[in-house]
Amino acid sequence: EAQVTQNPRYLITVTGKKLTVTCSQNMNHEYMSWYRQDPGLGLRQIYYSMNVEVTDKGDVPEGYKVSRKEKRNFPLILESPSPNQTSLYFCASSSFPGRVYEQYFGPGTRLTVT
């Protein structure tokens, strides 16, 4: 089954404690992306990757890191989480023939930073 998986699905942590949210896709997609969703703000892109070892900032990259060492994985790293990073996070992937087409979304990770 074609899917994007994220782990963990729920996470409560404390300020400053480094964490990683994993994302994996099994569709051999070139393009992967991380979004955060906050009430009234819709989805905002954090980082995206057009292929292995190619990453770039989205609209809200501050406080986040990513890496793309393998095509299927695109982990999101919060080196020193703060309460304003409490949010619902989505990973997504798509094929990328030079344009961003249909995105397949993971189920989401609800992060709470206290």
Partner 1 sequence: SQQGEEDPQALSIQEGENATMNCSYKTSINNLQWYRQNSGRGLVHLILIRSNEREKHSGRLRVTLDTSKKSSSLLITASRAADTASYFCATDANDYKLSFGAGTTVTVRA
Main-chain dihedrals φ then ψ at residue 7, nearest 5 degrees: -145, 140
In the list 1, 10, 40, 62, the residue contacting partner 1 (rule: CB under 8 A) is 40
Site for partner 1 in 5-24 (CB under 8 A): none
Cα–Cα distance measured from residue 51 to residue 17, given in angstroms and rounded to the nearest whole number: 29
In the list 30, 71, 77, 108, the residue contacting partner 1 (rule: CB under 8 A) is 108
Contact flag: residue 74 with partner 1 (CB under 8 A): no
Contact flag: residue 86 with partner 1 (CB under 8 A): no
In the list 24, 29, 34, 48, the residue contacting partner 1 (rule: CB under 8 A) is 48
Quick check: 68 and 56 in contact, CB under 8 A?
no
Nearest residue (CB) to partner 1, 15 versus 26: 26
Cα–Cα distance measured from residue 114 to residue 79, given in angstroms and rounded to the nearest whole number: 15
Quick check: 74 and 48 in contact, CB under 8 A?
no
Cα–Cα distance measured from residue 65 to residue 100, given in angstroms and rounded to the nearest whole number: 21
Q: CB 31: neighbour CB atoms within 10 A?
A: 21
C-beta of 18: minimal distance to partner 1 in Å?
A: 25
Which positions touch partner 1 (CB under 8 A)?
Answer: 4, 33, 35, 40-45, 48, 50, 56, 58-59, 88, 90, 92, 99-108, 110
